[in-house]
Amino acid sequence: MRPTRLGLAFLGLILLTLVGCINYALSLGYAVTFLLGGVWVVTATQASRAGRALGGTLTPPPEAVAGTEALFTATLVSAGPPCAAAVRVGGRGTPEVRAHVPAGGRVTLALPVPAPVRGRLTLPRPRVVALDPLGLWEVTRPLSVPVALTVSPAPEVGAPPPPPRPVPGEGEGGRRVPGHEDFSGLRAYVPGDSPRQVSWRHAARTGALLTRETDAPATTARVLDWADTAALGETEARLSRLAAWVSAARHEDIPFGLVLPGVTLPVGRGEAHAREALAALAGHPPLPQGPARGSARKSPAPLPGGPLRFTLFALAVALAPAVLRQPGWATLLLVGVLGHSAARTLPRWRDRLAPPPTGLLVLAAVGSGALLQTGYGTLLGRDAGTAFLALLVALKAAETRTLRDAKLLALLGVFVTLTHFFFGQGPLAAAHAVLSVLLLLAALSGWTLPAGRQGASPLRVAARLGLRATPLTLALFLLFPRPDGPLWQLPVQSGAQTGLADRISAGEFGHLAGSRAVAFRADFGGALPAPDERYWRGPVYEAYDGVNWTQVRSRGPSPSVEPGGPPLAYTLTLEPNGRPWLPALDVPTALPPGTFLTNAFQAVTPRPPTARTRYALQSRAARLGVAESRERLEFDLRLPPGESPRALALASRWRSLTPEARVEAALTLLRAGGFTYTLDPPTLPERDRVDALLFGSRRGFCEHYASAFAFLMRAAGLPARIVGGYLGGEVNPDGGYLIVRAQDAHAWTEVWLPGRGWVRVDPTAAVAPARVNAGLATALSSPTARAAPVPTPLRRAALRLDALQTRWNAWVAGYDGTQQRDLLAQVGVGRVGGVPYLALAGGLLALALLPVLFARRPRPADPAARLLDDLTRRLRLPRAPGETPSAYAGRACLERPRHAEAIRAAVHAYHAARYAPDSGTAALRELWAAVRRVRR
């Protein structure tokens, strides 16, 4: 047993996708990869079981002519499950025929074998091959040819008649030869004599069979002489003419003799004499050499339309999600190419539509790559790379000509299916992947056997394989080691999705308010923090140039942290955003492995997540930066010279107040100054922006008020900075967690107060208190509301669906190394790679393989045959293919002598039950009793 070329390509696809899943942490990709691995194992066991039960014989034709095909007859017998079988002459790529052999059945096939030259036709390695339903594995067994085949020369077309050659002696006294004109006597009957020549009158009188012999004058016989072909010159041409003369004499039933150099056949007639003459011509030296390898290759036959249409349909299903995200021109090209390829499989369009030339396909591929490079700026990113791959696969479908190309097309469809997990791993993506993979496996099954000769529909075959591979898939999904980091890093995201950038300016957060995309989910495992405590800290902005606030790197000593509140543990499920920071409450005191805390108290991961990722954190309320570096405090007092003089003058008058009073004075200004919280503030000028907001428009969003407040504090002599992040989150009562969306992005201010360190001050709350307690939507409509409105029934249904999605993300799409270690710890296994882990993995894999390795053999329908099958099971001695019950009984008695009496009785009862009249029930009882006497 060995994998076929398709099986090796299938294994290569499994390894390639496994490496991709490890690198990009695609949990659903793991599931599909392990499903393919399970199918590979299941098909191996099926091929092995079928190969042990398959046998056959190969019978040559009576004769063959050079330059034609010799039609061998192959008889295949299976004593086991149904299987796809092939009869092959030579190695891979040589002539073969395929058929479906039913369970316990027999199939007869015609195997055409090329006979290019005369002589003895030797078949190189004739074999019967058992295949699995997908053609991934093959089990070969040798076939013996009982009689060698002699290939006679090809008769010359339009050969002239042979010259007359009179034979000495004429009339009754002359020499006579075998013929059909005159009676010459009787002889003993020989098997094979024609019944018309038997003397039935003599047989009726004496009881002995005698055959009449006839002859004819020698002058009526033909003598075919090698010398009569001397004018032709070449040996093969002379033999071809002699073969034509022999065929003519054979057809006319005329006696003839043959004279060759060193060989003389006496005058004779009949089939046996003609074959002897042709064999003499076939073996005449020198024998010609066979054609050079590869010199007589035939052009591939057109692929059958039905399987090719199904393969194109499965490929279209696999490519369907790409339509939702690629450019419109790419979708049109994709649909056009696949539609043209499908139309060419229809009989009515096959001759009307010409296949696209290779040059045009190459031009389309190069042009598509150039357009994608122009639109995306690269071909290596997630969006551009997957779109280019989809187009290349569609172009491959357009130039599919051979069976190898069609099978490769199905494998490419499987690979494309897994690339969709870069964009999402939800239940819909999983359902599409299952459907796509089943259709593509069914397409492979359709190519394994000729159309209309499968034992079951390809879809049913693929579904059965998937079900049998499911236990192994689950075991590998749970136990296969999940690394915590990628093998290498490539760009798979097109850009940030949360909107928190490295810098902010007026209007930066306003464009996020209309986006309901989920930024992350926070699960506290219990009571949720109060609304005014749901400040998710992100990037910290300290450098101000009058327009933009940007982050800075401080190289001074780390500021102090004085935790004071109770610890709060929670888990973040962060959506991919391309940013390195982790939103956290207050100050994190316990970070996930590989992350760190900056001296601005910002949680950062060195590698931004490229897929949905879970992080376990612990936070505590604390006094931050009571002991802060002088350099940092001085930096956080800087203002651009000449910027917003009115605001600067106003805040300068507060310097005589205490620090807390300065903060309260600025908040009072915002509360009582008629300011409005809005998503559509007027555009602020490039210069004196704070003056334009405070003394002009008085309309702004969170970043407007945070920027103005930080300016006032610096002008009042207090170090201040802006903190970006998220505020609030929607409570999901079904899951007990918070859903934080992009529209929850928020900016607030931190002011350094002596003895208290960095204190959070949210100036937006002074303008619209509802932003803290009721959320963005309520704050825009009712700025002073105290609570969010009760969700509508439709909203509650959406939250329930989100809870189901979250559970799916947690246990399926988000199953990673951390969850695997937690699961193993809960069952008491310990670390991955330890002895308990290996024992558990081995046990689960063995249990998963039990349905595959020990699947029951098909049971015969006849009761007597079923009891005889029970006998073979009890003896642990299966019947060989084509072995009769009597022959099996003789062999079984030799190998199991202590059960010999019961074996003979069982076979005797079997024959009686099957063939004896009016003894079925009694014989069945006797057979059952005999089988029961055999102990396992």
Structure tokens at 188: 């003993």
pLDDT at residue 292 above 50?
no
User: Cβ of 494: how many Cβ atoms within 10 Å?
Assistant: 14
Taking the C-alpha atoms of residue 313 and residue 304, their distance in angstroms, rounded to an integer, is 15
pLDDT the model gives residue 831:
79
Residue type, 648: L
Q: Sheet harboring 596-597: ordered strands across?
A: 581-582, 603-604, 596-597
Q: Answer whether residue 321 is part of any domain.
A: yes
pLDDT category of residue 511 using cuts at 50, 70 and 90 = low
Structure tokens at 742: 């992009």
pLDDT at residue 903 above 80?
yes
Backbone torsions φ then ψ of 646, nearest 5 degrees: -65, -45
Could you tell me the sign of the dihedral formed by the alpha carbons of 359, 362, 368, 373, in that order?
negative
Structure tokens at 910: 């079997």
pLDDT the model gives residue 843:
82
Q: Helices H, strands E: what count in the chain?
A: 28, 37
Q: Which helix (H) or strand (E) holds 773?
A: helix 770-773
Q: Which helix (H) or strand (E) holds 519?
A: strand 518-523
Q: Answer whether residue 923 is part of any domain.
A: yes
List the catalytic residue out of 132, 744, 762, 816.
762
Backbone torsions φ then ψ of 102, nearest 5 degrees: -70, 165
List the catalytic residue out of 100, 273, 284, 746.
746
Give me the DSSP letters along 356-417: PPHHHHHHHHHHHHHHHHHHHS-SSSHHHHHHHHHHHHHHHHHT--SHHHHHHHHHHHHHHH
List the catalytic residue out of 273, 284, 702, 869.
702
Question: Mean per-residue pLDDT for 212-232?
Answer: 77
Between 888 and 174, the more confident residue is: 888
The burial class, CB within 10 Å (0-12 / 13-18 / 19+), for 304 is middle
The residue range of the domain holding 307 is 302-449
pLDDT the model gives residue 826:
84
Q: Answer whether residue 45 is part of any domain.
A: no
Residue type, 671: R
Taking the C-alpha atoms of residue 190 and residue 207, their distance in angstroms, rounded to an integer, is 15
pLDDT category of residue 452 using cuts at 50, 70 and 90 = low
Give me the DSSP letters along 54-70: EEEEEE--S-EETTEEE
Structure tokens at 319: 């490519």
Please write the tens of the pLDDT for every residue from 69-115: 899 998 888 877 788 898 888 766 566 888 888 877 788 989 888 88
pLDDT at residue 495 above 60?
no
pLDDT the model gives residue 172:
42
Taking the C-alpha atoms of residue 91 and residue 914, their distance in angstroms, rounded to an integer, is 42
Collapsed DSSP state (helix, strand, coil) of residue 807: helix
Residues 278 and 306 in one domain: no
Residue type, 663: V
Q: Answer whether residue 120 is part of any domain.
A: no
Residues 712 and 576 in one domain: yes
CA distances (Å), 339 to each of 84, 331, 332, 410, 478, in order? 32, 12, 10, 17, 41
Residues 411 and 517 in one domain: no
Q: 253 catalytic, yes or no?
A: no
Q: Are the beta carbons of 118 and 239 closer than 8 angstroms?
A: yes
User: Cβ of 253: how many Cβ atoms within 10 Å?
Assistant: 11
Collapsed DSSP state (helix, strand, coil) of residue 145: coil
Beta carbons within 8 Å of 5's beta carbon, 6+ residues apart: 92, 404
Please write the tens of the pLDDT for every residue from 751-808: 999 999 999 999 999 999 988 887 787 878 777 777 777 888 888 888 898 888 888 8
pLDDT at residue 207 above 80?
no
Taking the C-alpha atoms of residue 498 and residue 574, their distance in angstroms, rounded to an integer, is 10
The burial class, CB within 10 Å (0-12 / 13-18 / 19+), for 538 is buried
pLDDT the model gives residue 252:
86
pLDDT the model gives residue 749:
97
Taking the C-alpha atoms of residue 224 and residue 4, their distance in angstroms, rounded to an integer, is 52
Taking the C-alpha atoms of residue 725 and residue 385, their distance in angstroms, rounded to an integer, is 32
Taking the C-alpha atoms of residue 897 and residue 906, their distance in angstroms, rounded to an integer, is 14
Backbone torsions φ then ψ of 696, nearest 5 degrees: -125, -90
Q: Are the beta carbons of 31 and 8 closer than 8 angstroms?
A: no
| Residue in the block written with tokens 């290569």 | 12
pLDDT the model gives residue 300:
62
Could you tell me the sign of the dihedral formed by the alpha carbons of 597, 600, 606, 608, in that order?
positive
Please write the tens of the pLDDT for every residue from 51-73: 888 888 888 898 899 989 899 99
Backbone torsions φ then ψ of 773, nearest 5 degrees: -95, -25
Residues 312 and 415 in one domain: yes
pLDDT the model gives residue 739:
94
Q: Which helix (H) or strand (E) holds 702?
A: helix 702-715
Residues 766 and 687 in one domain: yes
Residues 733 and 612 in one domain: yes
**Of 810, 682, 793, which is closest to residue 735 (Cα–Cα)?**
810
Between 730 and 497, the more confident residue is: 730
Q: What is the DSSP letter of 323?
A: G
Q: Answer whether residue 234 is part of any domain.
A: yes
Q: Are the beta carbons of 342 and 368 closer than 8 angstroms?
A: no
Taking the C-alpha atoms of residue 22 and residue 705, their distance in angstroms, rounded to an integer, is 45
CA distances (Å), 811 to each of 425, 451, 469, 804, in order? 12, 42, 20, 11
**Of 9, 83, 77, 14, which is closest to residue 46 (Cα–Cα)?**
83
Please write the tens of the pLDDT for every residue from 607-626: 777 777 888 999 999 999 99
Q: Are the beta carbons of 215 and 178 closer than 8 angstroms?
A: yes
Helices 645-652 and 702-715 sit at what angle, rounded to 10 degrees?
A: 50
CA distances (Å), 470 to each of 440, 475, 476, 641, 705, in order? 17, 9, 10, 70, 57
pLDDT at residue 296 above 90?
no
Beta carbons within 8 Å of 720's beta carbon, 6+ residues apart: 636, 709, 710, 713, 714, 749, 750, 751, 752
Q: 908 catalytic, yes or no?
A: no
| Residue in the block written with tokens 């605001």 | 647
Between 817 and 541, the more confident residue is: 541
Q: Are the beta carbons of 828 and 821 closer than 8 angstroms?
A: no
> Is the bond leading into 286 cis (omega within 30 degrees of zero)?
yes
Backbone torsions φ then ψ of 187, nearest 5 degrees: -140, 170
Give me the DSSP letters along 173-241: TS-EEEEEEEEEEEEE--TT--GGGB-HHHHHHHS--EEEEEEEEGGGSEEEEGGGGGGG-SHHHHHHH
Question: Mean per-residue pLDDT for 505-519?
Answer: 72
Q: Are the beta carbons of 513 and 702 closer than 8 angstroms?
A: no
Taking the C-alpha atoms of residue 572 and residue 425, their distance in angstroms, rounded to an integer, is 17
pTM of the complete model: 0.76
Name the domain count of the chain.
Answer: 4
Residues 246 and 309 in one domain: no
pLDDT the model gives residue 847:
76
pLDDT category of residue 718 using cuts at 50, 70 and 90 = very high
Which of 449, 471, 495 terminates a domain? The answer is 449
**Of 611, 386, 618, which is closest to residue 485 (Cα–Cα)?**
611
Q: Answer whether residue 601 is part of any domain.
A: yes
User: Cβ of 374: how many Cβ atoms within 10 Å?
Assistant: 8
Collapsed DSSP state (helix, strand, coil) of residue 531: helix
C-alpha angle 704/706/708, rounded to 5°? 70
**Mean pLDDT lowest among 260-264, 409-413, 607-611:** 607-611
Which of 449, 465, 490 terminates a domain? The answer is 449
Residues 705 and 589 in one domain: yes
User: Cβ of 402: how many Cβ atoms within 10 Å?
Assistant: 13
C-alpha angle 215/216/218, rounded to 5°? 120
pLDDT at residue 223 above 70?
yes
Between 747 and 935, the more confident residue is: 747
Taking the C-alpha atoms of residue 666 and residue 661, their distance in angstroms, rounded to an integer, is 9
pLDDT the model gives residue 761:
96
Mode of pairing for the β-strands spanning 535-541 and 720-727 = antiparallel
pLDDT at residue 936 above 80?
no
pLDDT category of residue 450 using cuts at 50, 70 and 90 = low
pLDDT the model gives residue 857:
56
Residues 531 and 650 in one domain: yes
Residues 513 and 418 in one domain: no
Taking the C-alpha atoms of residue 218 and residue 172, their distance in angstroms, rounded to an integer, is 10
pLDDT at residue 293 above 50?
no
Backbone torsions φ then ψ of 561, nearest 5 degrees: -130, 125
**Of 623, 603, 609, 612, which is closest to residue 536 (Cα–Cα)?**
603
Q: Are the beta carbons of 319 and 334 closer than 8 angstroms?
A: yes
pLDDT at residue 654 above 90?
yes
Percent of the chain with pLDDT over 90: 39
Structure tokens at 192: 């094979």
pLDDT at residue 519 above 70?
yes
Q: Answer whether residue 153 is part of any domain.
A: no
Taking the C-alpha atoms of residue 127 and residue 883, their distance in angstroms, rounded to an integer, is 19
Between 497 and 719, the more confident residue is: 719
Q: Answer whether residue 468 is part of any domain.
A: no
Which of 793, 822, 839 terminates a domain? The answer is 793
pLDDT the model gives residue 177:
57
Over the Cα atoms of the chain, what is R_g?
44
Residues 525 and 432 in one domain: no
pLDDT the model gives residue 188:
81
Residues 765 and 907 in one domain: no
Chain length of the chain: 936
User: Cβ of 783: how many Cβ atoms within 10 Å?
Assistant: 18
Beta carbons within 8 Å of 649's beta carbon, 6+ residues apart: none
Percent of the chain with pLDDT over 70: 90
Q: 180 catalytic, yes or no?
A: no
Task: Please provide the average confidence, as pLDDT, over all residues in the chain.
Answer: 85
